[in-house]
């Protein structure tokens, strides 16, 4: 009512303002109340605000209603109720739901992370313990040399795993401060070329370096982190390239930054496995050496540097 006069608003006009996703639910609730199926109703729905550009900015409304008066046959003559904007409460509820989901995800990831760490540490540790025992029981020089090599190899694996886990933990916690310096890129990449050409000397893989030739380019970047990303990319390429080439290149785009790329003629990645490339402890070939942390560390470093990381691959 307004100044004692009854204002009649058609139900169609009321329902027209309700968002499409909620309209039928609210209409059904009102009909059940009007038909006497229920005595009270409480519904929450979104009301469209056409002047706002985003549907996420719709208002949430809570309506409560009950039958106020009925005729002799029990048919409702009038309803009484309240209508209240509850947008802020709904946003708080959604934030709590999201926080709960994130907490559950974090807990699951933590459990998975610990399980993977246990497995990955146990594997080289078993080899070290087992072959150390065999080493103490043999006098054969050839066997001693073989056992020592196996122990040394697994020591290296274990040390790299522990270093990767510590590095990843520090990066995640934000404890690592990037320390940029002026880096001579051609010099850095030529040193890298010498290192990996030597490593590939007795293989069927050619290491190719493609760098700009017009000038000594300097980059203001964290030298050790750049080498870490580059090294993990190249190591990954070596692991999955039995023959052919590995090509390393960089350029300085006009928009700024450093574009680094490593290409190889290796086995490629199946479409079904592409979503797992940057997942921690994921090894697309379980028989390949490594911890499955290298590319995950690269992604963490690049994203912390506000950069982008990605790949393109075809099987074969």
Q: What are the pLDDT digits (tens) for 290-311?
A: 667 888 889 988 988 889 999 9
pLDDT tens-digit map of 117-135: 777 788 788 889 999 989 8
Rounded Cα distance between 47 and 23, Å, is: 9
pLDDT tens-digit map of 13-29: 677 788 888 888 888 88
Rounded Cα distance between 136 and 151, Å, is: 13
Helix, strand, or coil here: 65? strand
CA R_g for the chain: 33
pLDDT confidence band for 12 (50 / 70 / 90): low
User: How buried is residue 50: exposed, middle or buried, by Cβ count under 10 Å (0-12/13-18/19+)?
Assistant: exposed
Mean pLDDT of the chain: 83
Closest CA to 64 of 94, 93, 39, 35: 39
Residue 185 has pLDDT above 50, yes or no: yes
Distances (CA, A) of 75 to 6, 28, 38, 40, 106: 20, 17, 12, 14, 54
Half-sphere exposure of 243 (CA within 13 A, CB side): 1
């Amino acid at each position: 009512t307004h100044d004692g006069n009854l204002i009649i608003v058609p139900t169609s006009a009321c329902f027209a303002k309700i968002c499409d996703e909620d309209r039928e639910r609210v209409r059904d609730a009102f009909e059940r109340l009007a038909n006497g199926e229920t005595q009270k109703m409480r519904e929450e729905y979104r009301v469209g605000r056409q002047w706002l550009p985003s549907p996420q900015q719709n208002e949430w409304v809570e309506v409560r209603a009950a039958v106020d008066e009925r005729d002799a046959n029990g048919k409702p003559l009038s309803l009484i109720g309240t209508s209240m904007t509850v947008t802020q409460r709904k946003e708080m509820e959604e934030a709590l739901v999201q926080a709960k989901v994130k907490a559950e995800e974090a807990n699951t990831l933590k459990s998975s992370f610990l399980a993977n760490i246990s497995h990955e540490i146990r594997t080289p540790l078993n080899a070290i313990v087992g072959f150390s025992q065999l080493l103490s029981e043999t006098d054969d020089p050839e066997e001693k040399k073989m056992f020592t090599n196996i122990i040394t190899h697994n020591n290296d694996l274990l040390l790299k795993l522990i270093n990767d886990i510590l590095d990843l933990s520090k990066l995640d916690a934000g404890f690592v401060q990037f320390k940029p310096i002026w880096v001579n890129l051609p010099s850095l990449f030529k040193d890298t070329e010498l290192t990996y050409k030597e490593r590939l000397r007795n293989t069927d893989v050619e290491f190719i370096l493609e760098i700009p030739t017009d000038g000594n380019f300097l980059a203001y970047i964290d030298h050790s982190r750049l080498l870490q990303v580059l090294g993990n990319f190249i190591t990954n390429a070596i692991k999955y390239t039995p023959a052919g080439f590995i090509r390393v290149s960089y350029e300085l785009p006009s928009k700024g930054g450093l574009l680094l790329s490593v290409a190889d003629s290796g086995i490629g990645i199946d479409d079904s496995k592409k979503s797992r490339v940057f997942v921690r402890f994921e090894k697309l070939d379980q028989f390949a050496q490594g911890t499955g942390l290298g590319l995950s560390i690269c992604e963490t470093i690049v994203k912390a540097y506000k950069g982008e990381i990605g790949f393109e691959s075809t099987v074969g």
